[in-house]
Chain A
Amino acid sequence: MSKNTEIKRHRQERMLNFGIVIVSLLAALIIGALLFLIAKGNPFKAYAVMFTKPFTSTFGMTEILVRAAPLMFVGLGIAIAFRSGILNIGAEGQILMGAIAGAAVALAFPDMPKIILLPMVFLASFIGGALWGGIAGWMRSYLNVNEILSTVMLNYIAIQVYMFFIRGPLIDPKEVSYGTGVPQTAVFSKNAWLTRLIPGTRLHTGIFIAIVLAVLVYILLWKTTIGYRMRAVGIEPKAARAAGMNVKAYLLLAMLLSGGFAGMAGAIEITGIHHRAMESISAGYGFSGIVVALFGGLHPLGIIPSSALFGLLIVGSDMMQRAVNVPASIILSIQGLVILSLVSSQNFLTNPRFKEKILKIFDSKSKTRNLKKGGRA
């Protein structure tokens, strides 16, 4: 094959990749449009709002980043675990354990200066999430319990433990004295608040922390001996073992780190947004984070844009719900459809046989077109 045709082919393939993603998104949107029609909404208007409205206001744009920050934390944790060969489906529970641990520290030391208190809250959240993830890691390594099973089950337990704390020991004393009993902690002292960047919006410094950590995770996984071992264990445990690595210990370490990152997503939400721990704090970040990580190619630097994209999806669909006036459950369905279609498109993106077929069709088309042109001339 000559160099020219190879370059041409390369270009065609890139176009095709782009095409596949667009087609899969369109498919999701078309199926979603049917749902809108059933609910008597206007799908065109809905989609226009979803993808453009977030960009028309400062609020919309900042809100994308607000959503992206926790997704990035969870996504990074998931990537560490998946790279090490362990499937962590328990980020949702780990977020809650991180949030409650961070909240406890924030409430216990209200007068500590900000520069000390905030890192302490994050550290506590990291440890809370790490311990919760570590349980699953330990069970996998030393009791041979499948981690998918254990992390999912631990999610249920985490929700109850979390609710116990915000209803009981950590409940806002005001809720008790007023007799309202809303399950939430007291508002933290301002020393445990992340700085808001733009007045009137919720954008806080958490997004920067997330980006810095993404770079650190990249360095950890690809530039250090620890990351080298974690990836080796993940790719081929047999070879890692033959090379003298302690496979079990590194699986456990991966789960500790993975849980810790999810835990810090909890810290971001309590210190950046709510300034207290309250019910339904996670908004499903633990599960969306898995998709963010996979869509970002399990690579820290891919997870940054991928979390922004999913932030847009969340914000856009919120705005759409208000604009088109359809039941909220439809919005969730659309999100699910988009995620499913993007993930399925991966299959086509990585299938050389399928690509070859499509390219061949285009080749033959362009040939006949050229012939026709020749005929006319």
Chain B
Amino acid sequence: MVEKINHLEMQHITKRFPGVLALDDVSIELKKSEILALLGENGAGKTTLMNVLYGLYHQDEGSIFINDKIIEIESPINAMENHIGMVHQHFMLVPNLTVIENIALGYFQDTRFKLDLNLVRTKIMEIAKKYGMAVDPEAYIWQLSVGEQQRVELVKALTLGANLLILDEPTAALTPQQTDELIELLKEMARQDNSIIFISHKLNEVKSVSNRISVLRNGKLVHEGDTVSYTVSELAEEMAGRQINLPKSPEKLEFGEVMLDMKDIWAYNDQGGWGLQGLNLQLKAGEIMGIAGVSGNGQRELADVVSGVRKVEKGNILIDNWNITNHTASQIIERGMGYIPEDRLHEGSLPGFSVRENLILKDYNSSQISSSIFLKKKVIDKFANNLIETYNIKCPDMNTSCASLSGGNIQKVILAREITRNPKVLIAAYPIRGLDIGAAEYVHNRLIEAREAGMAILLISEELEEILDLSDRIGVIYEGAILKVLPGRGTDYKEIGLLMAGVIDE
């Protein structure tokens, strides 16, 4: 067995992709019991660097040293043999297998054909006990919450012998409470001689979890140092290369007519249970209403019923006093509904289509864009070029496939398409999830502009900061209904956090 990692160095790593210099002479260093945060905007090269370390890519130049010995990491198996473990942003677990079976998948045993699950169970329990984690080895993955699945991923990496863990955006899908728990767990792991590389662009977390920070920008290492010596806003500046303050929506007292009226809405979720149970809400023109809640409390069903892709079992939805309950999605779009979906890659855009074709996704049928059958090429070209310029969409040209854009630019394409249609109601579901801070700033500014233009905006998010920054009112969703509506200003985290957990103190 190879000895455990006491000291890791990646020196002068350069990696080229056709036409792109993804990493340019990047060096990082990590010692035992350290937590290193790798910061950077999307496309800065964080994930590429970690994929090199984990053996998914091979560097063009530079070398990796473990305990001062140069090593070649050819594949993930190679990385695991060297005690490197990675927890990907999207978990690599088989839902139909139990926790034990999932971990046994990667566990090399002496007996070649016999699967000794007891041995794996002992090992799992040993590790769970060592770090004080609650894990039920017999549970099926599909039964576990996102936070629990992540713990399984951590146990898996440790069981397979890792003592250097790479965590790619580990908090992206966690609630604030789960995030705090994770941070404590990581610190405990570090205390027990593991080292951790933590990839994130959430600065507050980075600040509270890490010892040292390396910041990447455009494939270059622009900054490294001890965490304690920098403030959050300094880090934000390093990351973006300029100063950034996420905008707050200006205070407003007068709002327009009620644009979206949902009365006692009931709808099923995908598992066949009730997703929405008597949800009521009213949204006025020129208002942003934030929907806060732990994910899985009906946010998805709420967005679905309003956009017409999920059946309403009971209740009525009105847009501008027009009943759209159970109308088809295209009728609802006609009535003035705009939608920025949670899943921007598969629901908000067509990844294989060009930017140009994505921009007309909702208007291809309008008389401006097409005659009864034929698409008007010249009009569309002009329309697309115009939007690309107005919304500052970064792409080589309008025929670039949408799949090759960064998350922030895909979101710009969606924003451009939805806002230009000037809808009466705009639903924005997790509009900055997974975006870097520069792109988030852009999205928020556009939403505030849309509010000023008189759109009624429903902002569904799990990031309280985002909701507090933008909302005129905040509805807390719990078990498929709005538990309480709070004013957007003067409300604090704690109050919302309790409501999110279903606690009402009268």
Contacts and interface: CB of A to CB of B under 8 A. Distances in A.
B373 A235 contact: no
Contacts of B373: 224-226
Interface string B291-319: 00000000000000001110000000000
Contacts of A241: 309, 329
Contacts, number: 76
Contact of A242 (B341, B352, B353, B375): B341
Contact of B351 (A225, A236, A240, A246): A236
SS class, residues of chain A in contact with chain B: helix
B349 A239 contact: yes
A278 B118 CA distance: 66
A235 B353 contact: yes
Contacts of B350: 232, 235-236, 239-240
Nearest to A234: B352
B144 interface: no
Given A223-B377, A226-B373, A244 B357 contact: no
Contact of A243 (B331, B333, B343, B370): B333
B89 interface: no
Contact of B361 (A6, A223, A239, A246): A239
A6 B373 CA distance: 42
B18 to A, nearest CB: 7
B16 interface: yes
B375 A244 contact: no
Contacts of B331: 244
Interface in B1-38: 16-19, 21
A242 B364 contact: no
A243 B370 CA distance: 16
B257 interface: no
B21 A242 contact: no
B343 A238 contact: yes
A152 interface: no
Contacts of A244: 308, 328-333, 362
B170 interface: no
Given A225-B364, A236-B346, A9 B18 contact: yes
A232 B333 contact: no
B491 interface: no
B374 interface: yes
B198 interface: no
Given A225-B364, A352-B18, A242 B330 contact: no
A239 B333 CA distance: 14
Contacts of A225: 364-365, 370, 373-375
B372 to A, nearest CB: 8
B172 to A, nearest CB: 20
A159 interface: no
Given A1-B19, A240-B350, A242-B347, A224 B375 contact: yes
B339 interface: yes
A236 B361 CA distance: 12
B329 A242 contact: yes
A223 B329 CA distance: 24
Interface string A207-239: 000000000000000011110110110011011
B375 A245 contact: no
A336 B72 CA distance: 41
Contacts of B343: 238
B357 A236 contact: no
Contacts of A236: 346-347, 349-352
A223 B364 CA distance: 11
Contacts of B341: 242
B330 A245 contact: yes
Interface string A1-20: 10000100100010000000
Interface string B352-379: 1100010001101100001001110100
A270 B330 CA distance: 44
A243 B347 CA distance: 9
Contacts of B18: 9, 13, 352
Nearest to B57: A353
A316 to B, nearest CB: 36
B364 A228 contact: yes
B348 interface: yes
Nearest to A231: B353
Nearest to B353: A235
Contacts of B346: 236, 238-239
A352 to B, nearest CB: 7
A224 B374 contact: yes
Contacts of A352: 17-18
Contacts of A232: 350, 353, 361
A345 to B, nearest CB: 20
Contacts of A243: 329-330, 333, 361-362
Nearest to A240: B350
B362 A1 contact: no
Contacts of A231: 353
Contacts of B365: 225
Contact of A228 (B333, B351, B352, B375): B375
Given A225-B365, A225-B370, A232-B361, A1 B329 contact: no
A216 to B, nearest CB: 13
Nearest to B371: A225
Nearest to B344: A239
Q: Which 5 A-B pairs have the closest CB atoms?
A: A244-B330, A244-B329, A235-B352, A238-B347, A243-B361
22 contacts: A6-B19, A224-B375, A225-B365, A225-B370, A225-B373, A228-B375, A229-B364, A231-B353, A232-B361, A235-B350, A235-B353, A236-B347, A236-B349, A238-B343, A238-B346, A239-B347, A242-B309, A242-B341, A242-B347, A243-B333, A245-B329, A352-B17
Interface of A: 1, 6, 9, 13, 223-226, 228-229, 231-232, 235-236, 238-246, 352
Given A232-B361, A242-B347, A244-B362, 7 more contacts: A235-B351, A238-B343, A239-B346, A242-B339, A242-B348, A243-B361, A244-B332
